[in-house]
Amino acid sequence: MRTAVITAAGQVETREIPDPDIGDSEVLVRIAACGICTMEANLYAGRMTVYPAAAGHEISGWVERIGAKAADLEDMPAVGSLVTLDGLPRCGACRSCRRGQTAICVALQGHKREDGAITMGAGLAEYIALPASRVWSVGDTDPAVAAMGEPLACVVHSLRRGGFRAGDRVTVIGAGYMGHLHLAVAAELKARSVAVVERDEQRLAAIAAAGADAAVTPEDVGQLPPADVVFVTIASKEAIAAALAAVADGGTIVLYGGGPGGPPAELPGYEVHRRQLTVTGSFSHEPDDWRAAAELLRGGRLSGRLETLVTARYTLDEVEKALKQAAETPVYRVVVTP
């Protein structure tokens, strides 16, 4: 099969490797679509330097073959059905995994493949083999939307980390891709209202059109009703300041956005103490988050919103163009289809 490997900053090659084999508890999936996330964009741009990387962890595909034991599992997707995939393995043995906090597994990425590539999802390829526990049925939808199962699971995890409940007022800081997903999921799960704070005028208009109850610049945060939960999807001092201005006394701020080498988050200790604020982080996802994300995709009610977030589509032969666009231009999601 063909597989794309990022070998250095600005360099990607397509390799021919054997089709993956499967064990009794595994599933072989023919990849339908793979989204280019910030991680892949950073690898291509040289902002992350883990090479050679078999990247691509936002994956959908069609079930090609099912292992003997997996075939007997309840709710196992049938051969030919469209699925969304959890492409990031967990070790199951580290302290975090043994405490049920698999989102922060110490071995979440970085297993070496036979061709020497470090598997960081390995979804920029024609096939993938995964344990049945990481394969989720999504029904009949656009494969590019089905590939959003992974970021949707991240957002569900973010809402759980924030203690979100139906009826809460929510404010989202940032109107990029993850800002849109936080809006979509919070609204679908019955938030009382979802406001979005964004400086860029085009993105502000786009998220207002996507259904935000209010869309304001950081200067106008004071116009919003105090939020029970604030989700910060971008890393900047201004974003933290906006979150503090938006959150209600006794509320929660979830630091979702950010990356290695980003700006430090500055929190006024006395204000957090006096207002009894909860500040927490959210990273990756856990099995319960996948279950909820797959249900959201199967329900179909988010499909229209999610389709508008596909900025561009490329074939696997055009993977370098896809990575270049994701790394160098403002996008929501660039998708590669083998």
d(CA 247, CA 227): 5
Report the candidate in 267, 242, 243, 268 with the shortest Cα–Cα distance to residue 254: 243
Has residue 298 been placed in a domain? no
pLDDT of residue 223: 95
Has residue 304 been placed in a domain? no
Report the candidate in 135, 53, 19 with the shortest Cα–Cα distance to residue 87: 135
For position 17, which CATH number holds? 3.90.180.10
- Domain range holding 143? 2-148+309-337
pLDDT of residue 251: 99
pLDDT of residue 264: 78
For 223-235, the pLDDT digits (tens) are: 999 999 999 999 8
pLDDT bucket at 265, cuts 50 / 70 / 90: confident
Are residue 88 and residue 124 in the same domain, yes or no? Answer: yes
Are residue 87 and residue 203 in the same domain, yes or no? Answer: no
Kindly state the DSSP code that residue 121 receives in the 8-state scheme.
B
Tell me the pTM: 0.97
Has residue 236 been placed in a domain? yes
Are residue 185 and residue 140 in the same domain, yes or no? Answer: no
Has residue 294 been placed in a domain? no
| Cα separations in angstroms, 285 against 38, 74, 134 | 16, 23, 12
Are residue 275 and residue 142 in the same domain, yes or no? Answer: no
Are residue 201 and residue 137 in the same domain, yes or no? Answer: no
Peptide linkage before 218 cis (omega within 30 of 0): no
For 124-157, the pLDDT digits (tens) are: 999 999 999 999 999 999 999 999 999 999 999 9
